[in-house]
Amino acid sequence: MIANLDTLSPDQLRDAVRTLMADVASKSAEIAFKQATIDKLAHEMAVLKRLKFAATSEAFNSEQKSLIEETIDTDLAALALEIEQRAPSKDSGDKQQPKRVALPADLRAGPGCLNTQRPEISGLAAV
């Protein structure tokens, strides 16, 4: 992307900001579209579940009921799979895990070192 912002001229900075704003706008539109699709599929799943567990399903004979349940189960499984595929992934590759770095040698405390700078904090204050 942009190596060093301090070395860019004002016009270059404006261009960089415009580019970044366009990227953000396109990502926001993409996220809104995906969320609308997920909401639509979730609603469709809710309707199918309502049909599956509704009291009116008891009015069907056993063969009709099993066919309807089988069809609804297949539709629910397909919708669940589609929602999983369209949902934003939880693992983003551009996120970096913070790593602990060892303290420099001049800041390390020796074994058994007590805090002598502020004894009132360490609980070893002379009474």
Mind giving me the DSSP string for 75-121?
Answer: HHHHHHHHHHHHSPPS--TT-------PPPGGGPPPTT----S-HHH
Q: What are the pLDDT digits (tens) for 104-124?
A: 777 766 666 655 565 555 555
C-alpha Rg value of the chain to the nearest Å: 30
Decide: helix, strand or coil at residue 126. coil
Determine the pLDDT at residue 102: 74
Question: Is the confidence at residue 74, as pLDDT, over 80?
Answer: yes
Average pLDDT over residues 65-69: 81
